[in-house]
Amino acid sequence: MAGQLIKEWSAIQQFPSATQEKLVDLLGKLKNQNVNTLTILVMGKGGVGKSSTVNSVIGERVVTVSAFQSETPRPVMVSRSRSGFTLNIIDTPGLVEGGYVSDQVLDTIKSSLGRFLLNKTVDVLLYVDRLDAYRVDNMDKQIVKAISDSFGKEIWHKAVVVLTHAQLSPPDALTYEEFFSKRWESLLKCIRQGARINKNEAQQFAIPVALVENSGRCNKNEHDEKILPMGTPWIPNLIHTITDVTLNGKRGILVDQKLIEGPNANDRGKIYIPLILAFQFLFIIKPIQKMIKADVERENKPSWA
Ligand SMILES: Nc1nc2c(ncn2[C@@H]2O[C@H](COP(=O)(O)OP(=O)(O)O)[C@@H](O)[C@H]2O)c(=O)[nH]1
Ligand SMILES: [Mg+2]
């Protein structure tokens, strides 16, 4: 973005003053630690609320949200500045296409990152899913695995899991807290498996979760702030979690040539293809050919031989 003028983050004034104060505090905390730019990458399945969350955080409709249409095909970076502080948020297309994790989407994300941020770092990954889902499945694990293979397992040091649709009434007579902790427990387990984070590493990879409700019907407190069912204003809470992860002492994700051109999940297996072919030739095809040859020789001998 060299030389390009970054838009002023004026939509921050759309937030209720209680939220504005907290945001200004958090941005101050980052600046005190010499963090003048905060770059956030948003990824997840399609339709989970990635774009809506980007709009909620910026405070205006900066990216397209659609219930039924297929999403924007390319990643978009939205940048806003405020008193010397720059916020970059990168919204991306859903990672699942036609029932598979799409390598093509992952490649597009990486090459777009190269265009937006070459030799700069991503500070935080927002991994978005919905709170109101009752199961995790193998696809969820595949997505986490694909992200880890493409960006390195370390990306989970910089991750915040965002669960949208947080204003829900839990099923089966569970309390909200019970439902949340069950959902989070199973998703966290799935993330650890997909990212191959073992028991000993779980402590280092303490992945935080933040709840989000993008709906216009989100409840508000007496200060007009959008709140979660337990009363927490969710926008300041999300930015607080993002700030903590930014300052957690772990290195951000460097967008260099190696990352952009590096292999992703399925490509990695491809290096074994020549080996597998060689194996098949030496240990399966060759012996069969030998057997056939021996057979033919036997057949060709005259019966009286
Ligand atoms: N009720 C509710 N609807 C949401 C929430 N987040 C997104 N949506 C809706 O879900 C649909 C998909 O959202 P979108 O942000 O485009 O998802 P994306 O495909 O992940 O970018 C849209 O109709 C949104 O209005 C949320 O937190 N609560
Ligand atoms: Mg979207």
Distance 188 CA to ligand 1 centre (A): 22
User: Residue 72's pLDDT is what?
Assistant: 65
Is the CA virtual torsion 175, 178, 184, 189 positive or negative? negative
At 295 the pLDDT is: 77
Ligand 1 close to Cβ of residue 103 (< 6 A): no
Looking at the whole model, is its pTM more than 0.85? yes
- Check: CB of residue 95 under 8 Å from CB of residue 44: yes
Give how far Cα 81 sits from Cα of 8, 11, 85, 210, Å. 5, 11, 5, 24
Per-residue model confidence (pLDDT) at position 289:
82
Query: Is residue 70 a known part of a binding site?
Result: yes
51 CA → ligand 2 middle, Å:
4
Q: What pLDDT does 82 receive? A: 94
Q: What pLDDT was estimated at residue 16?
A: 98
Residues above pLDDT 90, as percent of the chain: 77
- Where the chain has pLDDT below 50, the residues are 1
CA-nearest residue, atom 14 of ligand 1: 49
